[in-house]
Amino acid sequence: MRQIYLDHNATTPVRKEVLEAMMPYFSDECGNASSVHSKGQAARKAVEASREVVAHAIGTEPVDIIFTSGGTESDNCAIKGAAVANLAKGRHIITSEIEHLAVLESCKFAEEELGFEVTRLPVDKHGVVDLNNLKDSIRKDTVLISIMFANNETGTIQPIKEIGKIAKKNGVYFHTDAVQALGKESVDVEDLGVDLCSFSAHKLNGPKGVGALYIRKGVKILPYQTGGHHERRLRAGTLNVPGIVGFAKAVEIAAKDMKKTNKYFEKLTDKLLVGLKKELNEIYLNGHPEHRLSNTLNISFRYIEGESLILNFDMKGIFASTGSACTSGSLEPSHVLTAMGVPPDISQGSIRFSFGYENTEKDVEYCLAEIPPIVKRLREMSPLC
Ligand code: PLP
């Protein structure tokens, strides 16, 4: 049976070139990047070359990048680190209702353990925060704004540059979780005016368990993971050399191909949406119609539960998800769709199709042949119809 992986916002396959670049650092070049002997120095050289690639891709200098174990750690490091380091300034954080759990839980930690107040901004029906609302929420004691670049469930992109300007004007640090954006959108930290920015390799055809945090010079954060003197003492732990090398290779390829890939994704997602609409009624696009990641299509199929769809798709070799991989399995409606005002009877039937470079038009044609009969059959059995 054909297998069509359409869950790239959960994770992506490692590219062949990325794997090839990583391989020597598992064995022949196995040195610890902190060791002084030549094997250690070879590893250090690879790490620093990788740091340069990642820094260049986001318009900054290598010294502003620390490597981490991924997006979750980068978010924790940025939010908890900035909160603890700036207690003297105040105890107020602004975030949004649609953030990834790594951000929401870090803010909750600041609230419950450090005595912060957290303002969680609502979003409109497309999932976008209101800039006037943001301005009105800033207080004298606001330390940090944390608003994601692009949402993992819907792909909706926030007005990051405008938020950067507001943060700067008010002397507040601005963190953005750009985990889903890197490789799909231009992330230039100078242009965007962000102070802290989280990345993860496995969302752009790099390996799992490695990521980075951009920290603008002069931004005060305290390390939340302590130990050895790695990463300018901001993140202790032996560096994941193969992972870092693979991350840089993935970033390099994604940056080079970005324009072309986005056009390609647009073609595939448009074809799927138009084709499904032709065959089925009562289906709705969740997310911004234009300001959205080109690879992401979140669709609600009314009258059916997302979980039943996922299982039936799986039987036909189509792999999609009901939303965030981190919250799937819970039968709660998506906090993102709820914040966007999607009623429960529509949000419960939402499916996220997220494309990757290896998907083809033939894959979409297969989906268009297989999905409508599944939806029609499930609707016939649905007590909601
Ligand atoms: N932030 C966003 C927006 C994500 O989509 C994810 C992954 O699902 C994360 C953070 C967590 O990244 P990681 O899996 O590297 O910990």
180 lines ligand 1 (CB under 6 A): yes
Quick one: pLDDT at residue 329? 52
Interior CA angle at 173 toward 72 and 96, to 5°?
55
Quick one: pLDDT at residue 47? 98
SS3 assignment, position 56: helix
| Tokens 């939010």 belong to residue | 79
Query: Can you tell me the distance from the alpha carbon of 153 to that of 170, in angstroms, rounded to the nearest whole number?
Result: 30
Task: Check if the beta carbon of residue 40 is closer than 8 Å to that of residue 327.
Answer: no
Q: What is the pLDDT of residues 37-49, one digit of tens each?
A: 999 999 999 999 9
* Most ligand 1 atoms within 8 A of CB, residue of 95, 147, 152 to mutate: 152
Buried b (16+ CB within 10 A) or exposed e, 182-218: bbbbebebeebbbbbbbbbbbbbbbbbebbbbbbbee
Residues ≥6 apart with Cβ < 8 Å to 281 = none
For the chain, which residues score pLDDT lower than 50? none
Q: Percentage of the chain surpassing pLDDT 70?
A: 98
243 lines ligand 1 (CB under 6 A): no
User: Which ligand 1 atom is the nearest neighbour of the CA of 73?
Assistant: 16
152 lines ligand 1 (CB under 6 A): yes
Q: Give the sheet arrangement for strand 350-354, strand by strand.
A: 283-286, 296-301, 350-354
DSSP letter string over 110-169? HHHHH--EEEEE-B-TTS-B-HHHHHHH--TTEEEEE--SB-TTT-BBP-HHHHHHHHHH
Instruction: Please name the residue whose Cα sits nearest to atom 5 of ligand 1.
Output: 152
Q: pTM of this prediction?
A: 0.96
SS3 assignment, position 260: helix
Quick one: pLDDT at residue 324? 54
User: Which ligand 1 atom is the nearest neighbour of the CA of 202?
Assistant: 15
Query: Can you tell me the distance from the alpha carbon of 223 to that of 82, in angstroms, rounded to the nearest whole number?
Result: 9
182 lines ligand 1 (CB under 6 A): no
Hey, which residues are catalytic here?
326
213 lines ligand 1 (CB under 6 A): no
31 lines ligand 1 (CB under 6 A): no
Task: Check if the beta carbon of residue 100 is closer than 8 Å to that of residue 60.
Answer: no
Quick one: pLDDT at residue 385? 74
Q: Tell me, what DSSP letter sits at residue 185?
A: B
Instruction: Please name the residue whose Cα sits nearest to atom 9 of ligand 1.
Output: 71
177 lines ligand 1 (CB under 6 A): yes
Quick one: pLDDT at residue 132? 98
Instruction: Please name the residue whose Cα sits nearest to atom 14 of ligand 1.
Output: 71
Query: Can you tell me the distance from the alpha carbon of 142 to that of 357, in angstroms, rounded to the nearest whole number?
Result: 41
- Structure tokens belonging to residue 297: 């299509």
102 lines ligand 1 (CB under 6 A): yes
* Most ligand 1 atoms within 8 A of CB, residue of 179, 184, 334 to mutate: 179
Query: Can you tell me the distance from the alpha carbon of 93 to that of 103, in angstroms, rounded to the nearest whole number?
Result: 11
Distance, CA 180 to ligand 1 centroid (Å)?
Answer: 8
Distance, CA 113 to ligand 1 centroid (Å)?
Answer: 23
